[in-house]
Amino acid sequence: MNGFERRKERKKQNILNASLKLFSEYGVQKVSIQEIAKKAQVSQVTIYNYFGGKDELLFETVKKFIYERLDRFRDVVDNDNMDFKKKIQFVIQDKKENILHMDPGFLQTVMRDQPELQEMIQTFTERDAVPLLMELVEQGKTQGYVHPDISFRSIMFYIEMYYQAMRSKEDLFDHSLPELSEEITHMFFYGLMGNQDEHLHEDKE
């Protein structure tokens, strides 16, 4: 990659970082290309040249975000110095911190109003996220934290119910979304009783 290509790529990343910050804080509809250009310190023409329109920029922004999250998740799953319980606690906390800084309107646009985004996220989930999640679940079974009789199909059924609800229920996208997401994540890993210490093995002394 020569100097021109490096500068071009750096500008693209600056634009994507700026758009994610603005979209996630204020919602897609409230953010203009002009505002993104100002934050990224580029011209509006540069954004149109690199990405086309706002919808294309949103698509690339979300794609960058979810694959960066996947890399973080993969680092945790592959970390031999963390047991299953610590990995789950990390995943829950990481998810909570990300969602707390996102405008509900941004999540609504991503999950309900953009068919191409929905298709991309569905493919990403099936091809990348689910296999990694199942790898983590297998670690949990091996370490005795997850019941060996829980099937892949059951876990996928749960995940699909979650995403179907996110796509269809408008009242999920209100001020309670961060709390709701954390509660659902806890339910997934710790059961309806809600106390992980009662369901997971105690740490070895």
Percentage of the chain lying above the pLDDT 90 cut: 31
Instruction: Please compute the mean of the pLDDT values over residues 88-104 and round it to a whole number.
Output: 67
**pLDDT tens-digit map of 51-72:** 998 999 999 999 998 899 899 9
Whether 177 is covered by a domain: the verdict is no
Provide φ and ψ at 145, rounded to 5°. Answer: -90, -25
Using 50, 70 and 90 to split pLDDT, how confident is the model at 205?
very low
Report the first-to-last Cα separation within the chain, whole angstroms. Answer: 52
Q: Write out the residue range of the structural domain in which residue 77 sits.
A: 54-149
**pLDDT digit string (tens) for 122-173?**
898 889 988 998 898 899 889 888 788 888 778 778 767 766 665 565 555 5
CA distance 79 to 135: 12
Asked, for residue 198, whether it belongs to a domain, the answer is no
The answer to whether residue 197 is domain-embedded is: no
Q: Is residue 30 part of a domain?
A: no
175 part of a folded domain: no
Asked whether the predicted pLDDT for residue 204 surpasses 50, the reply is no
**Residue 96: pLDDT band by 50, 70, 90 thresholds?**
low
Query: What residues contact 102, with CB distance under 8 A and at least 6 apart?
Result: 24, 25
Helices (H), the chain: 3-26, 33-40, 44-51, 54-77, 84-100, 104-108, 115-124, 130-142, 152-168, 177-190, 196-199
- 97 found inside a domain: yes
Give the chain's domain count.
1
Question: What pLDDT does 47 receive?
Answer: 96
pLDDT digits over 32-54, tens only? 999 999 999 999 999 999 999 89
29 alpha-carbon distance from chain centroid: 20
Mean residue pLDDT of the chain comes to 80
Rounded to two decimals, what is the model's pTM? Answer: 0.74
Query: Is 116 within the bounds of a domain?
Result: yes
Does residue 164 or residue 80 have the better pLDDT?
80
Question: Residues near 63 by Cβ (< 8 Å), separated by ≥ 6?
Answer: 120
Question: For the chain, how big is the Rg over CA atoms in Å?
Answer: 19
In a domain, 91, yes or no: yes
